[in-house]
Each structure stands twice: as C-alpha cells, then as structure tokens.
Amino acid sequence: MVSIVLASHGTFSEGIKMSGQMIFGPQQDVAAVTLMPEMGPDDLRAKILEAVEGFEEKDQVLFLVDLQGGTPWNQISLLLDEPGHENWVAVGGMNLPIQLPIPRQTEKKDGANQLRLSYIKPNISQVMFPKTVFLPPFPSLSL
C-alpha cells in the first residue's frame, strides 16, 4: 500500500482531499498538509513528518505537491534526500483529475515509484525523484 500526502500553499490540499472524499468516501493513509502565511519552512517540515508518522504505511509515500519550486516542494525535496526515504516520491502539479483515482490504485501497485511510473507519469508534466527532476520540453516562443 502507498500512503499519500497532499501538500500545498494555503488550503488547496485540504480542498483536493475533501473533493476526493466526496467522490470516493474516506480514504485511509491520505493526509493534507498546508503551508499558511504565518508558518516558516521548519513548521511545514514538522507538519509533513507528523502526517507521515500518522500513516500505517510509512515506507512507501507519494507526495502530491501544488507547485514545483515552492516551499512545500522544497521541504519535501529535502526529505526525499534523507536516508531511509528511498521509497518516497514527489510529484508537482497536483490537481483533482490526477489525485482522484490514486487512492483506488495504491493497493494495486508495488509502491510509490511504480504508481508514479504506471499512472501519474503519463498524466503530469513534472515528476521528481531525489536529486532528479524530469520536465517536458518547452516549445520555443515566437512573437
């Protein structure tokens, strides 16, 4: 089984989680973590770790993050580089169409990385592993 952390600036992740629950019902081992204006990076890191500690499955964790390069993404990236987190995977560009089917797929896949490869990668533009970011080619702009 794969645990899921939805992480965002503001309450976006809570809204995504609530929408998923309205469609599929309550989901086990899915948490929303929010960065609020009064928080700093260390506060967010503590909330992320607290969310993971609440999961039954702590080894296979998929992080769906709102925006690559923002504080939630950066704090999760630092966690991915730590020993013992080799099976943690982060994906940038969280949205409802990507998130909705994932809880139904978590028990069918071998782990967070397999879930990313088989389901998310074909449907999203930014995928991150520790120390590696894959981005699609950007078309050149002509004015």
- Annotated catalytic residue within 4, 5, 8, 9: 9
Whole-angstrom CA distances from 21 to 7, 10, 90, 108 are: 16, 19, 21, 19
Q: Is 9 an annotated catalytic residue?
A: yes
Beta strands 30-35; 61-65: pairing state:
unpaired
Q: Are 63 and 91 in contact (CB under 8 A)?
A: yes
Residues catalogued as catalytic = 9
